[in-house]
Structure 1
Amino acid sequence: MSETIDKVVEIMGGKVGPGFDGIAKFVIEDEGAVIVDCDGVRAGDDEADVTLTATLDTFRDMLEGDLNPTAAFMTGKLKVDGDMGKAMALAQVFT
């Protein structure tokens, strides 16, 4: 597991508590993947209800509040595959 993924897990873990209804996977290109589910946040590449894919720079900008996830999606910087409702439920991670 990369240091980058460890750091993303740490940051997102502080923003998303246990109890998320579903499974979401954040794929950071060339780094790895992070899973958010009812148990919290962890590194992993499990099957998910929704998969969000972007570059490290895009994820960093979203986590730091410099890029709105909706704007990232609309401009093609963030790809969403699966349950859009689950993706929208994660909006608090990026605020």
Structure 2
Amino acid sequence: MTSDALAQVTAGLKDAVGEDCGLGAVVKFDFGSEGVVVIDATAVPNIVDNEDRPAQCTLKQSIADFAAMSEGTLGAAQAMMTGRLKIEGDMGLAMRIDGALSRGR
């Protein structure tokens, strides 16, 4: 079952991704016990859902920290240095996510 917070994050990412965010890869946001949001940008239109599957890049953090980063009250560098954001997989892809989400709008 999807929590309200996860449903809100999923809807927000769907809006941000749009038809084609240009990533050309699969990215997973892993929120631990709250669930996951996966952006599959390998096909157009891009798919955003909550099915846990392999990804080229996985970002692990709490939904609260994701929200703080989205609002600009927590920076990515600060989150990584304090262990509030962990990245597994393609670091170059992780660095392109913010720009790709802005592009999809």
Per the normalisation by structure 1, the TM-score is: 0.86
Between 85-94 and 28-37, report the one with greater CA deviation.
85-94
1:46 to 2:53 alignment? yes
Residue 76 of structure 1 aligns to a residue whose secondary structure is coil
2:58 and 2:8 map into 1 onto residues whose CA distance is 19
SS, match of residue 25 in structure 2: coil
Which structure has greater helix proportion? 2
Supply the distance in 2 between the matched residues of 1:52 and 1:73 (Cα, whole angstroms).
10
Question: Which consecutive residues of structure 2, in runs of 5 or more, have no partner in the other structure?
Answer: none
> How many residues align structurally?
94
Structure 1: where are the runs of 5+ without partners? Answer: none
Structure 1 counterpart of 2:85, from 69, 78, 81: 78
Match of 1:59 in 2: 66
Q: Structure 1 or 2: larger strand share?
A: 1
Deviations 1:27-52 (A, max 9, x none): 11220000012114222211000110
- SS of 1:14's partner is helix
TM score, norm. by length of structure 2: 0.78
Residues 70/16 of structure 1: CA separation in 2 closer, same or farther (3 Å cut): farther
Higher relative CO (CA 8 A, sep ≥ 6), structure 1 or 2?
2
Among all aligned residue pairs of Structure 1 and Structure 2, give the percentage whose two residues are the same amino acid: 35
